[in-house]
Amino acid sequence: MRKETQARELALQALYQRDVVSNRTLEELICFCERRAPADVLPLADRLVRGCIERQETLDKLIRRTAQNWKLERMAVSDRNILRLAVYEMLFRPDTPAKVAINEAIELAKRYSTEGSPTFVNGVLDKIYNSHIANRIKPDPQARADLHVHSTASDGSVAPEDLPALAARAGLSALALTDHDTLQGMRAAQKAAADHGVTVVPGVELTGYARSAHGDGEVELHVVGLYVDMEDDALAGRLEELRAARAERVLQIAERLRELGKDISGEGVLARAGGESVGRVHVAQELVKRGVCRSVGEAFENYLGAGCPAYVPKQHLTPAEAVKLVRAAGGCAVLSHPGLLQDMEMFLPELLEAGLDALEVHYPRHSPDAEKELMDLAAMYDLLVSGGSDYHGDAKPDIHLGQEAVSFVELHKLEQRALARV
């Protein structure tokens, strides 16, 4: 028997004991392995036992999400520990090929569990492989990723399924679809991406509101979530609430515009938006269509921007709440276009305490000096670096896809950060 297989069997026996006798300490389990393992088997058995125990919360969370019709606590003790071992190796031991970890788990299930266990274990691990392993990013410094892109699912003008082809033509190897308050376009974008050799990172953009530094109103802070779990129930529920609030806000804006003598129908704006997440851009487009304004920018400047006559604040989500929501869904929380935010450093302590992961350093409206300052801040606070175009298509005609991007070196770091919390 191969020493790796021996180590997995021994680790399974130790983890089984811990599950059955809950007061077994880590030291006792390691001693159990030491008494039974040959010298060349013990180091791996030790790493597997320690790793599974240290990462158990993360492992169990992913197994629960994947085995949707099975409660972890009701699985056979051997099955759940075989799954823990395999998922630990798949996620946290890059020297073990994922397929090897899966095959070894199936063999363990055949030897130590029930007749149906190999099929059950294989099914769960295959799902985890396809969702978390198959499309892992390799740290290629030549490959580029635009990590801030919008579609018609919110306020962009390009359908989600059309973005991968545009990304490929722009020389991108990946894009993050980060529509406002919705994941609606993700499946279509990922399905189309397979035909163009482009990776689509699941993302979302949230807006948090904070008191301004001078106490004279509120400031919007935008948080992009990268690698969020699209099946996370808490995230889905909160996004649904935010989208409902968006629709109500549009109706209130339309009412204010009518009071200003502008014949704008809120219901007409909702119908015009078509996508799941409606916003001020759709109102601005309606104003342009009706000849009230010459451009979307003019509509914001004269009517829709903060402090303007038709401005209505959005439902409150604090910046810290936005960060926590992203992290709870297994994602990396990125502060968007921080170089445009006045008194940005004033807001950093609260964001860092909430678990902010990265700064969007590369952005079309950031100056070279601003990018350098942001790189220094990222290094100072141990934050990762992100970047993207904030592409909206016709809604921002001066911005093209891939105008700002990061290499796969930065993307790999963001992915690893997300994988560490699943």
| DSSP character string of 315-328 | PP--HHHHHHHHHH
Q: Are residues 221 and 270 in the same domain?
A: no
Question: Is residue 310 situated within a structural domain?
Answer: no
pLDDT in tens, 109-125: 999 999 999 999 999 99
Structure confidence at residue 21 (pLDDT) = 85
Q: Are residues 391 and 271 in the same domain?
A: no
pLDDT in tens, 201-229: 999 999 998 887 776 677 889 999 999 99
Question: Is residue 115 situated within a structural domain?
Answer: yes
Band of residue 245 on the pLDDT scale cut at 50, 70, 90? confident
Band of residue 126 on the pLDDT scale cut at 50, 70, 90? very high
Question: Is residue 309 situated within a structural domain?
Answer: no
Structure confidence at residue 342 (pLDDT) = 85
Q: How many domains does the chain have?
A: 3
Band of residue 290 on the pLDDT scale cut at 50, 70, 90? confident
Question: Is residue 152 situated within a structural domain?
Answer: yes
For residue 145, give Cα distances in angstroms to 32, 136, 192, 260: 47, 14, 17, 44
Q: Are residues 100 and 182 in the same domain?
A: no
Q: What is the mean pLDDT of residues 37-60?
A: 92
Question: Is residue 311 situated within a structural domain?
Answer: no
Distance from C-alpha of 78 to C-alpha of 84, rounded to nearest angstrom: 10
DSSP-based three-state secondary structure for 257: helix
CB–CB of 182/152 below 8 Å? no
**Host domain of residue 296:** 240-304
Structure confidence at residue 162 (pLDDT) = 98
Of 64-68, 147-151, 192-196, which one has max mean pLDDT?
Answer: 147-151
CATH number for the domain harbouring residue 395: 3.20.20.140
Provide, rounded to the nearest whole percent, the portion of the chain with pLDDT above 70: 98
Distance from C-alpha of 254 to C-alpha of 292, rounded to nearest angstrom: 13
CB–CB of 195/166 below 8 Å? no
Structure confidence at residue 50 (pLDDT) = 95
Band of residue 63 on the pLDDT scale cut at 50, 70, 90? very high
> Residue 269 pLDDT > 70, yes or no?
yes
Q: What is the mean pLDDT of residues 11-38?
A: 90
Q: Under the phi-then-psi rule, with left for phi > 0, alpha for psi from -120 to 50, and beta for the rest, what region is 355?
A: left
Query: Do you know the residue count of the chain?
Result: 422
Q: Are residues 20 and 129 in the same domain?
A: yes
Structure confidence at residue 216 (pLDDT) = 67
Range in 195-204, 259-268, 345-354 the model is least confident about: 259-268
CATH number for the domain harbouring residue 263: 1.10.150
pLDDT in tens, 301-312: 999 987 899 998
Q: Are residues 100 and 174 in the same domain?
A: no
Q: Are residues 19 and 123 in the same domain?
A: yes
Q: Are residues 329 and 190 in the same domain?
A: yes
Question: Is residue 139 situated within a structural domain?
Answer: no
Structure confidence at residue 275 (pLDDT) = 58
Amino acid in position 192:
A
Q: Are residues 401 and 279 in the same domain?
A: no
pLDDT in tens, 127-153: 999 888 888 888 999 999 999 999 999
Structure confidence at residue 361 (pLDDT) = 98
Q: What is the mean pLDDT of residues 269-275?
A: 74
Strands 174-177 and 384-387: unpaired
Distance from C-alpha of 225 to C-alpha of 205, rounded to nearest angstrom: 6
Q: Are residues 119 and 47 in the same domain?
A: yes
Q: Are residues 117 and 35 in the same domain?
A: yes
Structure confidence at residue 133 (pLDDT) = 87
Q: What angle do CA 181, 182, 184 make, to 5 degrees?
A: 170
Domain end position, chosen among 103, 133, 163: 133
Question: Is residue 369 situated within a structural domain?
Answer: yes
pLDDT in tens, 171-180: 999 999 999 9
Q: What is the mean pLDDT of residues 88-105?
A: 93
Q: Are residues 247 and 221 in the same domain?
A: no
Structure confidence at residue 185 (pLDDT) = 95
Band of residue 37 on the pLDDT scale cut at 50, 70, 90? confident
Residue labelled with tokens 């530094």: 213
Domain end position, chosen among 284, 304, 324: 304
Distance from C-alpha of 11 to C-alpha of 119, rounded to nearest angstrom: 21
Q: What is the mean pLDDT of residues 279-290?
A: 88
CA 82, chain centre distance (Å): 28
pLDDT in tens, 337-394: 999 998 888 999 999 999 999 999 999 999 999 999 999 999 999 999 999 999 999 8
> Residue 233 pLDDT > 90, yes or no?
no
Distance from C-alpha of 373 to C-alpha of 358, rounded to nearest angstrom: 14
Structure confidence at residue 306 (pLDDT) = 79
Q: Are residues 85 and 223 in the same domain?
A: no
Q: What is the mean pLDDT of the chain?
A: 92
DSSP state of 384: E
Structure confidence at residue 276 (pLDDT) = 63
Q: What is the mean pLDDT of residues 55-60?
A: 91
Band of residue 272 on the pLDDT scale cut at 50, 70, 90? confident
Domain end position, chosen among 111, 133, 155: 133
CATH number for the domain harbouring residue 105: 1.10.940.10
Band of residue 170 on the pLDDT scale cut at 50, 70, 90? very high
Structure confidence at residue 336 (pLDDT) = 98
CB–CB of 383/357 below 8 Å? yes
* 312 or 81, higher pLDDT: 81
Band of residue 1 on the pLDDT scale cut at 50, 70, 90? low
Question: Is residue 138 situated within a structural domain?
Answer: no
Band of residue 231 on the pLDDT scale cut at 50, 70, 90? confident
> Residue 268 pLDDT > 90, yes or no?
no
CB–CB of 4/48 below 8 Å? no
Amino acid in position 158:
V
